Structure 1
């Protein structure tokens, strides 16, 4: 993968760095301590331009500067209006899709309306976590404009302190800090450890803490091959088996509590699938959240999460509960290949809470060879979390092959993993 990534970026260097002419890009800084479906709250963004291999422009904007210039009303997604209490939609909340390309197009709409910025050749989303990964290669970085030393261990707290210190919408504190740091890192590239920088950049891309969208079709195609585009994966079978049962799972979180509680929140995902003798399969997905924030004091506090779950379009939702309390009213929509359900879940400091979704798939195992494919997709900007599953088979079904090492006992196949990137599990079995 290292060699393939190097080959791709070398191949497209002339395009990206504007060998002939100028290339313009938009860089979004996603604060994933306040997670949103597309990576995190957009606190700042930058307009970057290259001209004949040189950096022509690196201009950082505070998102409130841009949003303050929006004169038209744009209707926000339902959760933003009802939970966040925001009657209008702004650039800062625009990445409300888990698909990066869709979010780029939405953001460009706002940028055109607010600042008359358009005609970008591509976009990059980078989270706070990715910045800490990259800073490890630079060691201690002195920021003379602020007389501070920044490194991987204090970057988030330093940035947060600067953004909150004497903050008001339209203030220049945060954008100037990020602008100064960004320019210094660019100038100090020769001082960074090349091996460590390459390793940590790849880690950030693989874990979806950096995502890219390019309008050059050849470049975009190669980015997709590396799974670095931040696109939603559409359910399709990885094998050529005629009878393939796909269970595609994509949990998506949106912190709408106006805090940075995700700094303190951990998540665990568990799936149980049970095949019946007639070939039907029922599922129970449990997503547990633990909030280790000390108290209701900023940047921590209560975690107010609009939780969404993307499932195959043919999934039948049987029940939803939060900590055993049945959720009678929840959002349910169809979008392309997916059925999407959504419900708020709140987790107080020093507490845990779980949402449980029971659903079935209308595709059944047939007599003979079958494939069961479980896909769990990771959200852009999400921290690595634990994931486990159990698949229960009746006596008339026998597993013949699988693409992962598992724990198997009494017709139950089990697996434990860390969800650092998208995972695809394929089991082949025979039904008598």
Structure 2
């Protein structure tokens, strides 16, 4: 049991360690004190499992954590490699956020043996093969080559994993990873809800401003002046990371950290993928694999935005969703309204007007009949769904209300149920669902969409 405790803590700490390197744009390798990391990890590990949630609705999750820990902590002398995808969801992409950096972690017998972090652009410079990008990149960004940093263009994490490995292989690297983990930038803000504010170099980082403050300190000044020495920003990030880890080691924060880790997995802010099929089956069972479900036989809705403006405008974009289904007519119909509010007051180096490629995933066989405030549709079949793609724009300080109406397949009418899958990195979305059943009775559900949501009018919401 001791080794399982150690690896659980290692996994959580590894996420923090790679996260503090999120905004580094240096060509040089970051050096992390591996010995100190391991000692701190093992000293705190003995305390964590006692605080893991054991309520009925989390039993499967805890069982999965224990299974993963048992497998990953094997003392078999084998060194395992993990690819960490660091995604900035202030620039939202279908798989979470813009893939600015990545890390490679090596673990042997439950200990971290190597950590490497690099800017994705540096990896892309080593790719000489020309790969045609998905149409929206060419249409909206005039991008002619598809590379690693844009590899997460699917809402399905397993698909993005294979694409990231593909581009890593094209760069000359060994793409045989034992696991791939994605982490969104806003995880840092949430970590600071646990630790409280931290001040480094005269700048306070807190749960409201951490990602933006880091961008100001380690990105903005270097965009404006490329000749500035990068050593200062390395120091800032390393010092911030040290203080975060030190505070998280405090006994009172350990149960909060355990709960935090589970919540981020549920909300797809952290997603897991393993080459070991047993491990992958376990994370899929508790929906930590970030996959688009293909075996759902009811109504289905997934809204997926891709920020194609190349800036961090998603920090300012607030969404509100209304979904109405009418099963009482000759054909079942659906009406979807997504309200986008661009809350920025002016443009700057971080934001401008918002330009998105929106895909709406609906049950296979759905038929679009009306659209407003979106472009001519690009309709395809993906993951056993009808995917309807549009271009939309939101001006700074303004609002865009995107509306579509479509016919649903007849198969959804009987024993109606709805699954709404949430896009990784999009944040919390106010949601209202109105369902008129075949007898004309209305059912209304109002929720904040934090994670995947299942609605069955005949039963209590799950």
TM-score category of the 2 structures, normalised to the smaller one: 0.7 to 0.9
Going by fraction, where is helix more abundant, 1 or 2?
2
Return the alpha-carbon distance in structure 2 between the equivalents of residues 379 and 55 of structure 1: 31
Preserved CA contact (<8 Å) 1:60 1:179: no
Deviation at 1:289, TM superposition (A): 0.6
Q: Give structure 2 stretches of 5+ with no counterpart.
A: 1-56
> Tell me, what secondary structure is at the counterpart of 1:349?
coil
One of 291, 302, 307 as aligned partner of 2:358: 307
Q: Does 1:6 align with 2:56?
A: no
Q: Give structure 1 stretches of 5+ with no counterpart.
A: 238-245, 399-410
Aligned to 2:219: 163
Going from structure 1 to structure 2, the CA distance change for 1:392 and 1:127 (only over 3 Å counts) comes to: same
Deviations 1:333-361 (A, max 9, x none): 11241111111111011111011111112
Return the alpha-carbon distance in structure 1 between the equivalents of residues 75 and 198 of structure 2: 30
One of 168, 177, 184 as aligned partner of 1:111: 168
Aligned to 1:345: 392
> Tell me, what secondary structure is at the counterpart of 2:290?
coil
Return the alpha-carbon distance in structure 2 between the equivalents of residues 179 and 48 of structure 1: 17
Aligned to 2:32: none
Deviations 1:18-59 (A, max 9, x none): 532211101111111100000000111110111111111121
One of 141, 146, 162 as aligned partner of 1:89: 146
Aligned to 1:372: 416
Q: Does 1:154 align with 2:237?
A: no
Preserved CA contact (<8 Å) 1:261 1:299: yes
Deviation at 1:117, TM superposition (A): 3.2
One of 311, 314, 324 as aligned partner of 1:262: 314
Going from structure 1 to structure 2, the CA distance change for 1:15 and 1:150 (only over 3 Å counts) comes to: farther
Q: Does 1:226 align with 2:286?
A: yes
Deviation at 1:165, TM superposition (A): 2.4
Aligned to 1:382: 426
Compare 228-237 and 96-105 and name the one that shifted more.
228-237
Aligned to 2:155: 98
Return the alpha-carbon distance in structure 1 between the equivalents of residues 65 and 262 of structure 2: 12
Aligned to 2:344: 293
Going from structure 1 to structure 2, the CA distance change for 1:426 and 1:107 (only over 3 Å counts) comes to: same
Deviation at 1:250, TM superposition (A): 0.6
> Tell me, what secondary structure is at the counterpart of 1:75?
coil
Deviation at 1:283, TM superposition (A): 1.2
Q: Does 1:65 align with 2:109?
A: no
> Tell me, what secondary structure is at the counterpart of 2:137?
helix
Q: State the number of aligned residues.
A: 396
Deviations 1:384-424 (A, max 9, x none): 10111212246xx27xxxxxxxxxxxx32211111001111
Compare 41-50 and 126-135 and name the one that shifted more.
126-135
Q: Does 1:422 align with 2:452?
A: yes
Q: Does 1:283 align with 2:330?
A: no
Compare 347-356 and 385-394 and name the one that shifted more.
385-394
Normalised to the residue count of structure 2, the TM-score between the two structures is 0.79
Preserved CA contact (<8 Å) 1:58 1:183: no
> Tell me, what secondary structure is at the counterpart of 2:82?
strand
Normalised to the residue count of structure 1, the TM-score between the two structures is 0.84
Return the alpha-carbon distance in structure 2 between the equivalents of residues 341 and 177 of structure 1: 44
> Tell me, what secondary structure is at the counterpart of 1:196?
helix
Preserved CA contact (<8 Å) 2:380 2:387: yes
Going from structure 1 to structure 2, the CA distance change for 1:194 and 1:72 (only over 3 Å counts) comes to: same
Deviation at 1:181, TM superposition (A): 5.1
Return the alpha-carbon distance in structure 2 between the equivalents of residues 125 and 365 of structure 1: 34
Aligned to 2:104: 47
Going by fraction, where is strand more abundant, 1 or 2?
1
Deviations 1:151-171 (A, max 9, x none): 4343202321202321469x9
Return the alpha-carbon distance in structure 2 between the equivalents of residues 181 and 115 of structure 1: 33
> Tell me, what secondary structure is at the counterpart of 1:307?
strand
Aligned to 2:405: 358
Deviation at 1:188, TM superposition (A): 6.2
Aligned to 1:403: none
Return the alpha-carbon distance in structure 2 between the equivalents of residues 371 and 175 of structure 1: 57
Preserved CA contact (<8 Å) 1:270 1:387: yes
Deviation at 1:72, TM superposition (A): 1.3
One of 75, 80, 83 as aligned partner of 1:26: 83
Deviation at 1:427, TM superposition (A): 3.1
One of 186, 205, 208 as aligned partner of 2:268: 208
One of 219, 237, 249 as aligned partner of 1:190: 249
